[in-house]
Homo-oligomer: A and B are copies of this chain.
Amino acid sequence: MNVVIIGSGAGGLTTASNIKKYSANAKITILTEDKHIAYSPCAIPYVIGGEIEKFENIVMHTPKDYERKGIEVITESKVVDVVANQNIVIYEEKGIKKEISYEKLVIATGGTPFIPPIDGVNLKGVFKVRTIEDGQSIKEWTKTTKQAVVAGAGAIGLEMAFGLKEIGIDVTVVEMVPQVFPRALDPEMAKIVQEYLEENGIRIILEKPLGKIIGNEKVKAVIIGEEQIDTELVIMSTGVRSNIELAKLAGCEIGRWAILTNNLMQTSIENIYAVGDCVEVIDAITGQNTLSPFGTTAVRQGKVAAKSIAGIDAESSPVLNSMVSKIGALEIGGTGMTETAAKMNGIDVVIGNAKALTRARYYPGGEPIFIKLVCEKNSRRIIGCQIISKERVAERVDAMSIAISKKMTVDELLNQEFSYAPPVSMVIDPLTFAAEDAFEKF
């Protein structure tokens, strides 16, 4: 079997390794524009902030590692066309046009940061956060930076803001919608994160766009509303768009935002698969198409694609878009549907709130934990959960992700058994308190 994979992110590499697992003789070639592969873009803010020493550390494998597994990786190569009816990919390597044929093609082209077309966006000192080179350029630039502006208050924007603050830079975050974490959190939960950032000296400007960037070659200031803010550094974390151009050239069917696949990760063209940030997925709550730009989703899809290609039964599942972010000492997590999203989808919900502690009340070091549970009114099922604390958030999110996947009701959660020891939990789990609160409102 001869498989070509376009893209060397989590989706492409997982597909490659897993095909090898099931089909040792498969010929696999990965084409990638990147120089470095197998690094974690999510780790960039923590290298900036100094938690991780250097960018080399976040590169987990080299092309040579893959070659040893029998997977060829052609780096710094740009695919320019996919000729689907001839099963050929045309790419440029060091300026030379080449072609490669395939039996199965996997499009794992990922996403590209969306940079709004505002004045000054091409000045030096304006960065996106996607590749390791982006991270390296930002780190170099911060050596002479005193002030920074971050546009976009999603996870990556806020993680970057905190990282920059940690190395002594004054940071302003600007976000067009009236809250931070616009997608993952409801407003009152977002407020907790905002207050934490503000307590740590980060300025947050909401409900205003980044108007323009001023400078002469290099960034000098930005205009936000009426205000001019001096800055030498601008981070654009204003969202990501799926890279679907090659899929279009190949003739694959495209949905509202990205490539359409069936649950084997097959596109509309039988021998072309697609995985990762460039595909649409099914929302587990609404059953509608959505995006799931997470490494975890790309990995799960890569495994399914590899099994499908190797002729093994596998099916991708709808997503809850479970996420967690660590900003300073704060962990912020969520899974399933927010109240805001439920309202937009016309779903009647009952909310359970809890503010509790992460350890027994008397045990030193316990932290406040804030939980919001979103339950569907008709079915009494849990359909979403948001959690914020300084410890023990991620796994609670995962527990709720399992509960939602398995269609657990608030009544079942109320009776659910939790483990307990004074140093690690309360005798009544905070999730039980949230379930009680919801239960009483039904």
**Could you tell me which A residues sit within 8 Å of B by CB distance?**
10, 40, 42-43, 46, 51-53, 57-58, 60, 155, 294-297, 299-300, 315-317, 319-326, 331, 333, 335, 360-364, 392-399, 401-403, 405-408, 412, 415-425, 427-429, 431
Does A297 lie within 8 Å of B392, measured CB to CB? no
Oligomer: number of copies: 2
Choose from B53, B58, B324, B431 the contact partner of A420 (Cβ within 8 Å).
B324
Contacts of A408 in B (CB 8 A): 402, 406
Does B362 lie within 8 Å of A424, measured CB to CB? no
Does B417 lie within 8 Å of A296, measured CB to CB? yes
Does B392 lie within 8 Å of A394, measured CB to CB? yes
CA distance A425 to B300 in the complex (A): 16
Contacts of A42 in B (CB 8 A): 420-422
If A399-B399, A421-B326 touch, whether A427 touches B392 (CB-CB below 8 Å) is no
Contacts of A297 in B (CB 8 A): 417
Closest to A58 in B: B362
If A396-B398, A424-B326 touch, whether A60 touches B361 (CB-CB below 8 Å) is yes
If A317-B415, A363-B43, A363-B52 touch, whether A324 touches B424 (CB-CB below 8 Å) is yes
Contacts of A46 in B (CB 8 A): 363, 422-423
Given contacts A58-B362, A394-B421, 19 further A-B contacts (CB under 8 A): A40-B360, A51-B364, A52-B422, A60-B362, A294-B420, A296-B417, A316-B415, A320-B417, A322-B418, A324-B421, A324-B425, A326-B421, A394-B419, A394-B420, A394-B424, A395-B395, A396-B398, A399-B399, A401-B419
Q: List 17 A-B contacts (CB under 8 A).
A: A40-B362, A40-B422, A40-B427, A46-B423, A58-B422, A394-B395, A394-B420, A394-B421, A394-B425, A395-B395, A395-B399, A396-B398, A399-B399, A399-B402, A402-B416, A405-B417, A406-B407
Does A398 lie within 8 Å of B422, measured CB to CB? no
Choose from B52, B392, B419 the contact partner of A296 (Cβ within 8 Å).
B419
CA distance A326 to B408 in the complex (A): 29
CA distance A349 to B419 in the complex (A): 23
CA distance A316 to B414 in the complex (A): 11
Closest to A406 in B: B406
Contacts of A40 in B (CB 8 A): 360, 362, 422, 427
CB distance from A264 to the nearest CB of B (A): 13
Does A401 lie within 8 Å of B423, measured CB to CB? no
CB distance from A376 to the nearest CB of B (A): 17
Choose from B295, B393, B394, B427 the contact partner of A10 (Cβ within 8 Å).
B427
Does A398 lie within 8 Å of B363, measured CB to CB? no
If A360-B43, A395-B395, A428-B299 touch, whether A401 touches B416 (CB-CB below 8 Å) is yes
